[in-house]
Amino acid sequence: MSVTNVALLQIEKEFIKVFRENGYQLIDQLAEYLENSHSANKPVVNLHEPEIEIDYWQNVEIRDLNDFHSKLIKRSIRLHHPNYIGHQVSAPLPDLALLGLTSDLMNNGMGIYEMGSAAVAIEHIVIQIFSKHVGYNTKESNGFLTSGGTLANLTALLAARSKLQSEDPQIPNSKIHLLVSEQAHFCVQRAWATMGLNDKNLHTISVNESYQVDIDKLKSTINEIISQSNKIMAIVGCACSTATGSYDDITALTSICQERSIWLHIDGAHGGAAIFSERLKKKLFNGVHLADSIIIDAHKMMLTPALATAVLFKNHLYGYDSFKQKADYLFNESDIDPHNLAKRTYETTKYMMSIKVYYLFKKYGIEYIGQFVERQTNLAIWYYNQLTVETDFECAHKPQTNILCFRYVDESISELNELNQFIRQELLNEGSFYVVSTVLRDSYYLRVSIMNPATTKHHLTNLVSKIRSIAATYPNR
Ligand SMILES: Cc1ncc(COP(=O)(O)O)c(C=O)c1O
């Protein structure tokens, strides 16, 4: 098709007719995908070696959009399958996915207010809701949505560094330090490296038996840093950690940071949605309103499609310090400019992520999210209680959220790491369950994150039986 023809097609009625017909068919295909996934009558994952997959897509004939779509679904992992209990990515509410289509088609850039007035106003409301539930004073706080927790953590840490530099403009990079749990997500280290700061000044603090940052160790490291006339740019608290879903002691962290005027940043990418449950908030987030910044991924525990992360600052002015580039073609000179979002976000053009989170809040309600987080957490605790009474299973920790690490044990086999690696690989080969893994204190564990509201005790019990039957086939007995 020539470029001229494409341009003409855009304005032809025929083009819209085809869009409508394809759209109806596409929705039917997706509804079928949901039905097949929920009833678990398809494998959760259909994995091939990358070379085979590339070869397939290189050579396959694609007749039309619906043909492409059906082939794509067949070869993709199904997050809506109840046996998907792998990485921390949501099985999105279908309504919210439909709004993704709106965002893609309307393509309101959102970097500046004019390029997405509705979505920008909606983002403002969404951020107010997040801030209120953190416990911030919504007149003083502010924030925005950005593309994922990795970018959100970087953005917040850039703001923390700017604050430090504004207080001490001559401070050399070699004097700037950061403290974080050794269980923190790797993106904190990535942010540090991106900021060009000294590797040696990033202190990864050891954890207690529950994989929470060791508060005494943290305090002694702070004292050591300060005694050498260095400055602490921030302490990052995990709420929760990735591997085991452990929440650092936020009350202790806030009191340390308040006492010493240190920026406290909370990485709530996975566990931050617990602020929407009164019960969990009281238990896990006591004092969080004193943190200087917090991030929360909607695409993890809020049933929202990726990516949509809230970055929240206790003081709205901090949000302007991450990026200070001048752009005459976009912005005016005014410093405080809450509605031209690209002044504060890493992105310039940004997709309309706010509309999904807004609709989630409006249609389903805050309580719904809180109840969802509680349900998934209770299910993980139930699973932990089940596995701990079994002699052939061992759990690494008691869950505080929907993440549990455990392994199969067999007295007759000494190489438990290899045995559990074998189990995971076989699960993957069969495609019956999708579970992931991690290494804790040199031991290999199977790891589940119960992301899907369709996953029940029944599915988790089936996983136990499946693991036992695979273990029975382990060749190195
Ligand atoms: C605690 C934590 N922080 C940050 C991230 C990174 O978030 P994203 O994948 O949205 O970039 C993750 C991802 O799993 C996480 O668990």
Distance 270 CA to ligand 1 centre (A): 7
Token pair 């290899």: residue: 418
What residue numbers bound the domain in which 55 lies?
11-78
* CA-wise closest residue to 417 among 391, 446, 387, 443: 443
Final residue belonging to a domain, choices 335, 367, 399: 367
Q: Are residues 146 and 253 in the same domain?
A: yes
Q: Are residues 390 and 294 in the same domain?
A: no
CB atoms within 10 A of CB 320: 18
Residue-by-residue pLDDT tens, the chain, 477 positions: 565 666 665 667 788 999 999 999 999 999 999 999 988 778 999 999 999 999 999 999 999 999 999 999 999 999 999 999 999 999 999 999 999 999 999 999 999 999 999 999 999 999 999 999 999 999 999 999 999 999 999 999 999 999 999 999 999 999 999 999 999 999 999 999 999 999 999 999 999 999 999 999 999 999 999 999 999 999 999 999 999 999 999 999 999 999 999 999 999 999 999 999 999 999 999 999 999 999 999 999 999 999 999 999 999 999 988 887 666 666 666 678 889 999 999 999 999 999 999 999 999 999 999 999 999 999 999 999 999 999 999 999 999 999 999 999 999 999 999 999 999 999 999 999 999 999 999 999 999 999 999 999 999 999 999 999 999 999 987
In our burial notation (b when 16+ CB lie closer than 10 A, e otherwise), range 221-241 reads bbeebeeeeebbbbbbbbbbb
Phi first, then psi: give them for residue 410, nearest 5 degrees: -145, 120
| SS3 (DSSP) at 262 | coil
Q: Which amino acid is at 404?
A: L
CB atoms within 10 A of CB 59: 7
Distance 63 CA to ligand 1 centre (A): 38
CB atoms within 10 A of CB 52: 9
Which two tokens mark 218?
A: 């943290």
Q: Are residues 280 and 354 in the same domain?
A: yes
The domain tally of the chain equals 3
Beta bridge partners of 120: none
Which two tokens mark 412?
A: 């007759």
Q: What contacts 80, CB < 8 A, 6 or more positions away?
A: 33, 34, 37, 38, 91, 452, 454
CA distance 393 to 376: 21
Distance 307 CA to ligand 1 centre (A): 11
Distance 380 CA to ligand 1 centre (A): 20
Protein residue with its CA nearest to atom 5 in ligand 1: 149
Q: Are residues 320 and 413 in the same domain?
A: no
pTM of the model: 0.96
Final residue belonging to a domain, choices 78, 94, 127: 78
Looking at the domain assignment, is residue 230 inside a domain?
Answer: yes
Phi first, then psi: give them for residue 135, nearest 5 degrees: 105, 10
Ligand 1 close to Cβ of residue 237 (< 6 A)? no
Final residue belonging to a domain, choices 339, 367, 395: 367
